[in-house]
Amino acid sequence: MMPNISRPNFGALLALALASGAGGAEAQLGARDGMPGKRVYDVACTACHGTDGRGAAQARLGFADALPDFSNCSFASREAAQDWETIVARGGPTRRFSRRMPAFRAALSREQIAQVVEYLRSFCSDRRWPLGELNFPRAIGTEKAYPEDEVVLGTSVVTRRGERAVTTTAIYERRWGARTQWEIGVPVVVRERSLAAGGGWTGLELADVGVGLKRTLAHGPRGILSLGSEVKLPVGSSESGAGSGTVRFEGYLAAGLGLVGNSFVQAQAGAELPANSTKAAREAFWRVAVGTTLGASTRPLSPMVEVEGVRELARGAESEWSVIPQVQIALSRRQHVLANVGIRLPVGDVGAPLTRRPRELVAYLLWDWFDGGIFEGW
């Protein structure tokens, strides 16, 4: 959120000046322009960030580093108010941003910090952009409704009849305007043969590649709804099980809703339809993830429980259910590099031991590349 600049003295002097004069200045300014946060912003923020939120002129600042533009909705809408308040209260270094951004928790009350954050977020006047409060933690299987700029490296490990299969999928997501996101997912599979089959690992094998598009339909202060689609291209081998041998089309609705505190629920429902139904089954699927975020102002930890269901679209078919307990944790101080690990547990599978669905270890590493380089912010 803040520029990558480094001298600490200016910030300390500004915080000291505010602490000594904020009371008198607030009495002099009075209520103005309808928002109480404007009074605090005028006193504490305009020297660097300008009256219009675009940053003061470099000649006036005395340093050449660029400042953030709060009127740029692509920048200003992405972070939740809680994240902005943490930067204002604790200063830029708490998230490995600029040392020129001072800590104001000794000079401003929590209420004043919340008010000034509300005001600076108002510089973005385009309400098409969903707010960062709706960017809930990513679950293992449930698609987020929020459009994102992310790189995700997901892995699943399955052991069946003494043989192990490891599937790793690299997903690139890019936001396109206020409400749209496109993505591409490239999976590869490597297998470890059982001792009876001679043992050893096979080489990497490319599986079916997915190309998707997602569009936000509606959003409000606590909820978001999106429509998504994906085409899976049959580049993997159907003989080895890495591919289906046919093009598959997927459509879905995804939703997210903020609950009490930092709790949330996310849901996804849709169908997958193959071009050739003799090579792949037509299926309906649904997923729900419920969780909460702990320690959101520092290194957040988000435990979640996810329920998945899938049913073949054929007469007499039965639904298959799975539960995935999991936890996401921020690895970087900037909270833009995160990891999630969980286990997919089949539910209600009463078949013979050799035909039951196996448990599956699942994990991902996520990099929100819009917030900085993968090696920044630690």
Contact assessment for residue 54 and residue 68, using Cβ atoms and an 8 Å cutoff: no
β-bridge pairing 150-160 and 360-367:
antiparallel
Give dist(CA 248, CA 210) in Å, integer.
9
Torsion angles phi and psi, residue 88, rounded to 5: -65, -45
Give dist(CA 81, CA 113) in Å, integer.
10
Are 27 and 47 in a shared domain? yes
Domain end call among 100, 121, 142: 121
Are 116 and 138 in a shared domain? no
Give dist(CA 90, CA 103) in Å, integer.
4
Residue range 192-197: mean pLDDT, rounded: 77
Q: Is 266 exposed, middle or buried (0-12, 13-18, 19+ CB in 10 A)?
A: buried
Are 192 and 308 in a shared domain? yes
Domain end call among 95, 121, 147: 121
pLDDT of residue 14: 34
Q: How many domains does the chain have?
A: 2
Contact assessment for residue 115 and residue 354, using Cβ atoms and an 8 Å cutoff: no
Are 176 and 239 in a shared domain? yes
Asked if residue 59 is part of any domain, the answer here is yes
Q: pLDDT by residue (tens digit) across 209-249?
A: 999 999 999 999 999 999 999 999 999 998 888 899 999 99
Asked if residue 378 is part of any domain, the answer here is no
Are 115 and 214 in a shared domain? no
Domain end call among 74, 97, 121: 121
Are 348 and 217 in a shared domain? yes
Asked if residue 3 is part of any domain, the answer here is no
Give dist(CA 374, CA 376) in Å, integer.
6
Torsion angles phi and psi, residue 160, rounded to 5: -140, 125
Are 42 and 163 in a shared domain? no
Are 367 and 299 in a shared domain? yes
Asked if residue 4 is part of any domain, the answer here is no
Cα distances (Å, whole numbers) of residue 13 to 98, 126, 250 = 15, 35, 57
* Cβ atoms < 10 Å from Cβ of 190: 14
* Cβ atoms < 10 Å from Cβ of 58: 12
Q: pLDDT by residue (tens digit) across 4-45?
A: 333 333 333 333 333 333 343 333 333 336 788 999 999 999
Are 147 and 101 in a shared domain? no
Average pLDDT, the chain: 88
Are 296 and 160 in a shared domain? yes
> CATH number, domain at 164?
2.40.160.40
pLDDT at 160 over 90: no
pTM: 0.86
Asked if residue 126 is part of any domain, the answer here is no
pLDDT band at 70 (very low <50, low <70, confident <90, very high): very high
Are 148 and 40 in a shared domain? no
108: containing domain = 9-121
Q: pLDDT by residue (tens digit) across 294-353?
A: 987 778 999 999 999 999 999 999 999 999 999 999 999 999 999 999 999 999 876 656
Closest of 135, 133, 138 to residue 324, by C-alpha: 138
> CATH number, domain at 21?
1.10.760
Contact assessment for residue 215 and residue 229, using Cβ atoms and an 8 Å cutoff: no
Asked if residue 359 is part of any domain, the answer here is yes
Asked if residue 39 is part of any domain, the answer here is yes
pLDDT of residue 98: 85
Closest of 351, 357, 293, 358 to residue 327, by C-alpha: 293
HSE at residue 320, side-chain half, CA atoms within 13 A, is 16
Asked if residue 127 is part of any domain, the answer here is no
Give dist(CA 229, CA 237) in Å, integer.
23
Quote the tokens at residue 237: 């081998």
Cα distances (Å, whole numbers) of residue 247 to 204, 220, 231, 240 = 22, 36, 7, 17
Are 318 and 217 in a shared domain? yes
